[in-house]
Amino acid sequence: MQLNPSRERRNCTLKRYSGVDRSLTSKYILKPFYTHVVIKCFPMSMAPNLITLTGFMFVVANFLTLLWYNPTLDQDCPSWVYYSWAVGLFLYQTFDAVDGAQARRTKQSGPLGELFDHGVDALNTCLEVLIFAGSQNMGQSWYTVATLFASLQTFYVQTWDEYHTKTLTLGIVNGPVEGILVLVGVYALTGYKGGASFWQQPMLPTLGVSSAIAPLPEKIYNFSFTEWYMVQGTIVLVWNTFESAQNVIRARRARGDRSRGALLGLGPFFAIWSLVVTYLYLQPTIRTNHLVPFAIFAGVVNAYSVGQMITAHLVLLKFPYFNVLGLPLLFGVVDSLGPILQANFGFGWPSALGDGVYQVAFMFCMLGAAIGVYGSFVVDVIVTLCDYLDIWCLTIKHPYIEGETNKKAA
């Protein structure tokens, strides 16, 4: 999606951010803490987007320690690593929440802040999934893939909901507030218990719940903490998706629009992920040996889709159904499918990449292409909006001076 500054000035109106946070934790605990304590730590000269980016650096630091101590996602780390993950994630949440207050305090609120905030959150979602998988010793398994799918779908659906309802709605219990605090607690508890292998124990027996109290089949009774997390996550994912769909349907019907077309907006995500799952199934070496870079690729693809939606929402463009980053993934699936069809059905085509080093190289090429496409998109949108609004992204170009404002008003 390319933006032309002159065209946007003539034909588009930038939409202001609208959000509703119903979280009781946020209302009675976090917001007073942010308002009366945290915000005072930041000078008036610090740009809100710089606060957002600084907070994201804590997650990047967490991810780097993950790569150093647990690159395969199935090894125990020193206890301090898990504690640092808890602190880093809490600081990310704090900085991510305070940037809005800083924008209002410095009179720098605007659409670029919403776009920048959502873009950082989209990248954090992918990295946090890998960190969480490392905190559970999930390894390079389908459990990690499923967790990545659920997290990215939640973020995509939430953004899709915001595009159609024009408002970001967070429920009484939501991911950006309670969900992150739960992860902070999980990381801290993992460090206290001495390693991620703790979560691979059967949950009910470990908690002292006998089979007489919980009359379940033996296999389910012996589910590990991680497996019970997957069950809980599935329920929450289905519920959140259903709730967002209901929000979109109600909002469009209230405006007299059809809801059928809006629901098609979920199609691009599931189309991409059908290719992701198929590719990982056809190329098990990618899943078992190179899942971390592939997960980053999938996260960047989702971030690009989300970025397109947010940009379309801000400048009132049509919903973006096409994601060019799905094309190399489609090629990988088609290339991998040919030899299987030849072997089982007598027709097909030879693989151009095989299943060895060239396949791995292709996967890294996909990652590089995704970073390049998404990076150029981000730069293009930021430069265009900064030019249109006459602002800078990471510094304050026009500081707010109350006296001058009053003179202009007079």
CB neighbours (10 Å) of residue 248? 22
Rg (alpha carbons) of the chain, rounded to whole number:
23
- Cα 153 to Cα 25: distance, rounded to the nearest angstrom: 24
DSSP letters along 233-296, please? HHHHHHHHHHHHHHHHHHHHHHTT--SHHHHGGGHHHHHHHHHHHHHHHH-HHHHHHSHHHHHH
Residue 201: which of 229, 222, 232, 230 has the closest Cα? 222
Q: Under a CB-based contact definition with an 8 Å cutoff, are residues 273 and 172 in contact?
A: no
Of these residues, 36, 118, 164, 290, which one is catalytic? 118
Catalytic: 164? no
Calculate ∠ Cα 135-146-305, nearest 5°: 105
The C-alpha atoms of residue 190 and residue 136 are separated, in whole angstroms, by 8
Active site residues per annotation: 118
